[in-house]
Amino acid sequence: MNTRFIYLILLCFVSGLVSSCNKWLDVEPNSQIKSSELFKTESGFKEALAGIYTLITDPKLYGKELQYGMIGVLSHEWSAYATAYNEDGEYEYGSTAVQGRINDVWLGLYQAISNANNLLDQIDAKQQVFSGDNYAIIKGETLALRAFLHFELVRLFGASYLIDPNKPAIPYVFQYAAKQTPQSTVKETYVFILKDLEAAKALLKADPIFTGKVITEGVDNGYLINRQVHLNYYAVEALMARLYYNTGEYDKARTAANTVINSGKFSFSTQANFLNGVDFTGAPEHIFGLHIFNQFNYAIQNLSQEGTNVFSLNATTLGSYYENNSSDYRFSYLFAQGTGSSASNRYLLKYSEPTTQNLYYRNKSALVKLAEMYFIIAGSNLAEGKGIIEALNKVRQARGVAALGAEPADPTATYLTEFRKEFFGEGQLFHQYKRLNKAIIAGTGKDLVAIKAYILPLPVSEYDAANRNSNR
């Protein structure tokens, strides 16, 4: 089976899922998927959904490249990285290495979409197999996942909505079928994303994170206990805030962001937990995060002195990012100093193994978090010429930094400085630069707007097999 083409990857599942998901696929040599057994029971649907989350923890996606790897190099966050990424840093998207990474992202995200569509194609006819609210919650989560994954694709492969909403972008795939899906424009893609999010939100009104229903291990074996590692009701609301921010609907963006903030379901991590190495990723802050089974091993390989393909900062650059402010928990506790010949290097600890065995803090990676809601409010205000410091100060003070006393003379520069501090190594800075249409960014003299660096090219195979229009 040739998995290069989008209409063929709709037939693809992957093996190697963690043990909790190992029954969720059965691929025969002719590549026809047997879902008849899997989707006979509620547990089968649960495994299928878990499998989709597991797919996107791969290092080619959120296990590395879309958190601190390729996407971190594109935004020039790092002082140093493996030579294999040199062409990424120069935006040479035609090179073999960069094309390979881009293709992996495209295929990996669409593979997860395919699996989400397979589940959605089955679930309505099997509604009777579900107990309690699980039908609504599982269907709502899966719709939200489909929206999230397309959102990630259009952020990478589509033009900025505020610059060219009518530019051809990506296919929005609604069906699990071996057929070509037409390419949508940026604007059309956002309409489809919002439609899925609205449908998900309606279903997820049954979500215990929204209803307040207490879930224990004795309730359905605790299936609905940790909603932060699922696309829960408030994660959908947060994605709506992100969407409205990207489309310039600032009142709606602020309203959605405030809904999440005012829910009281999420809180900033404490200084003690930073200091003691208990909570490197800010687990209570995650509105939606992933459980990445091999995260600590990936961190050793890529973010430590012991690794072989290491991303690092030098002391001077780290100090400039955080203004050498020792009161800032992120500066003081989230970077390790190298030793010996690497003594001038600083290594990100965000994805390293914490000191606690409490599973709540282990193997976590944030994809949507509380701080983003404050930055969406500040960014919406920035776009409308309003004050930004009230929202920014909420994050600064949560990180041990004194509040800004007056609106800055250059609010865009201040906004980006604070954004980099907060989301370092989380894959968000590149998207923020893109949304602001920044021509020149720190770390490179290239004009990213002129060379269209903010829009990753579609894989060559898409043009060969599906006759796509240029997205750039």
pLDDT score, position 465 = 78
- Higher pLDDT among residues 17 and 270, named by residue: 270
Tokens of 254: 């602020």
Reported as a pLDDT band with limits 50, 70 and 90, residue 178 is: confident
Q: How far apart are CA 110 and CA 191, in angstroms?
A: 18
* Contact between 456 and 431 (Cβ < 8 Å): no
Helices 233-247, 250-262: inter-axial angle, 10-degree rounding: 160
* Paired tokens of 58: 């791969």
More confident residue, 11 or 436: 436
pLDDT tens-digit readout, 215-269: 999 999 999 999 999 999 999 999 999 999 999 999 999 999 999 999 999 999 9
Share of the chain above pLDDT 70, in %: 92
Report pLDDT digits (tens) over 281-319: 999 999 999 999 999 999 999 999 999 989 999 999 999
Which two tokens mark 23?
Answer: 């029954």
Does 347 or 3 have the greater pLDDT score?
A: 347
Which of 2-11, 89-98, 436-445 has the lowest average pLDDT?
2-11
pLDDT given at position 371? 98
> How confident is the prediction for the chain on average, in pLDDT?
92
pLDDT in tens, 7-47: 333 333 333 333 333 322 222 223 334 567 889 999 999 99
pLDDT band, residue 366 (cuts 50/70/90) = very high
Which sign does the torsion angle of CA 223, 225, 226, 228 carry?
positive
Mean pLDDT value across residues 78-107: 97
Of the chain, the end-to-end C-alpha distance in Å amounts to: 29
Q: Which residue has the higher pLDDT, 120 or 37?
A: 120
Q: For residue 35, what pLDDT is reported?
A: 67
pTM: 0.93
Residue 105 has pLDDT above 90, yes or no: yes
Region 82-91 average pLDDT: 97
Q: What is the DSSP string of 320-343?
A: HHTTT-TT-HHHHHSEEE--GGGT
Domains of the chain: 41-352+371-465 (1.25.40.390)
Indicate the range of 2-16, 161-175, 198-212 predicted with least confidence: 2-16
